[in-house]
Amino acid sequence: MPSSRRVFDYAHKNARFDELNVLQAQPEFWNNQGQAQKVVQETKSLRRVVEAVRGTDKALEEAELLVQMAREDSSAMAEVQDELTALLDRVEKDVAELEFQVLLGGPHDPAGCFLQISAGAGGLDACDWAGILFRMYTRWAYAHSYGVEEIERIDEPEAGIRSATLHIQGDYAFGYLKAECGVHRLVRISPFDAQARRHTAFASVDVTPDVVADDEIEIDEADLRIDTMRAGGAGGQHVNKTESAVRIVHIPTGVLVRCQSQRSQHKNREMAMALLKAKLASLRDAERDAELSKLYGEKGEISWGYQIRSYVMQPYQMVKDLRTEVEKGNIQAVLDGDLDDFIQAYLRKMGGGGGTLKKAGK
């Protein structure tokens, strides 16, 4: 996580923001679509800091004028107090925005993301648990106004899913959901055990940034093994009768991705390539960062000893994050998508800052 000094290098950010705005006003700006999209994304990221600081400066100037007005005309004191209160609210909002930048100042944090869920140890309970997590993250994303697209899903015929990949679309989706990367453990009375015994199940969550515009990642077609197949599960007659699903293996790294959400094989291939690029970017970043390496390169088994969070339904109800010690007793609310306390605590621990987690998907 970057230091607050780098995040708040305001002079540089302010100058760069103005420079990019001038660049976007040029008639030939959109001639190079790829470069233009990168500039737009950088501008959007800078705007959060620059406009927050500018707004705070403006509010403080207005406050000084109001105080001076009250000193010169005591009869205006009541009106001035009301306006100062409104200004204070604005300043508080802008400061919260700056704190948000401390928490989410990573190079890929402003991007959308791909979230992959895989069943681990626990048999049928693990598949059911993976399905519950699928619902939990979908509900969290919708609650924060993010777009959600199902990229790939392999159902377990008896219950739940073996694996699934979601494309979460919106600003800072990766910045938030990177906190969820790891193994999640469920303890409950198994609905699949005739003797009603308590079982433990595991599922993993992997989160990679949507880095389509990352020019550092170059994929050689010769390094790919591309297979097509019929899409499994629901999806309509056309999807199931044609080989629209695409599976791509990146031979040098062994990374495998699948996409079957679209009826068009071309669109599935395009989305699979985007997902592959995201995973390769994460592997590249893992080489630069030992901590990410543990998450992406050496995650280990999806079983005992690797979990980041435990969800206990019996003999008591408690969700506990083992990295931050945050606990919540209302497990149903968590499974319905109430994850903000866990995410915020993780970001604070990793970033050393404060801030308020907001619905930032809009």
Q: Look up residue 317 and give its DSSP letter.
A: -
Asked whether the predicted pLDDT for residue 64 surpasses 60, the reply is yes
Assigned CATH topology for domain 111-362: Alpha-Beta Plaits (3.30.70)
pLDDT value, residue 37: 78
> Could you tell me if 149 and 261 are in contact, meaning their C-beta atoms sit under 8 angstroms apart?
yes
pLDDT value, residue 85: 82
Q: What is the pLDDT of residues 301-324, one digit of tens each?
A: 555 667 899 999 988 899 999 999
- Angle value at C-alpha 339, between 338 and 342, nearest 5 degrees: 140
Asked whether the predicted pLDDT for residue 356 surpasses 60, the reply is no
pLDDT band for position 129 (cuts 50, 70, 90): very high
- The phi, psi pair for 182, rounded to 5°, reads 150, -165
> Could you tell me if 23 and 38 are in contact, meaning their C-beta atoms sit under 8 angstroms apart?
no
Are the folds of 4-103 and 111-362 the same? no
Sequence-distant (6+) residues with CB within 8 A of 92 are none
Rounded to whole angstroms, what are the CA distances from 137 to 52, 121, 221, 329? Answer: 30, 20, 33, 19
Q: How crowded is residue 191: how many other Cβ atoms within 10 Å of its Cβ?
A: 11
Provide the 3-class DSSP secondary structure of residue 211. Answer: coil
pLDDT value, residue 242: 59
Q: Which residue has the tokens 């960062």?
A: 289
pLDDT value, residue 82: 80
Q: What is the pLDDT of residues 245-265, one digit of tens each?
A: 777 888 887 777 777 766 677
What's the whole-model pTM score?
Answer: 0.66
Q: What is the pLDDT of residues 97-116, one digit of tens each?
A: 677 666 787 778 888 999 99
Q: Is 313 exposed, middle or buried (0-12, 13-18, 19+ CB in 10 A)?
A: middle
Distance CA 112, CA 169 (A): 5
pLDDT value, residue 202: 94
Task: Give me the mean pLDDT over the 319-334 stretch.
Answer: 95
Q: Look up residue 76 and give its DSSP letter.
A: G
For residue 233, is it left (φ>0), alpha (ψ between -120 and 50) or beta?
Answer: left
- Sequence ranges of the domains in the chain: 4-103, 111-362
pLDDT band for position 52 (cuts 50, 70, 90): confident
Strand partners, 257: 248
Pick the CATH number of 4-103 from 1.10.3720.10, 3.30.565.10, 3.20.20.140, 1.20.58.410: 1.20.58.410
CA dihedral over 176, 177, 182, 187, signed as positive or negative: positive
- Angle value at C-alpha 320, between 316 and 324, nearest 5 degrees: 160
Cα 243 to the center of its chain, rounded Å: 31
pLDDT band for position 57 (cuts 50, 70, 90): confident
Task: Give me the mean pLDDT over the 143-165 stretch.
Answer: 91
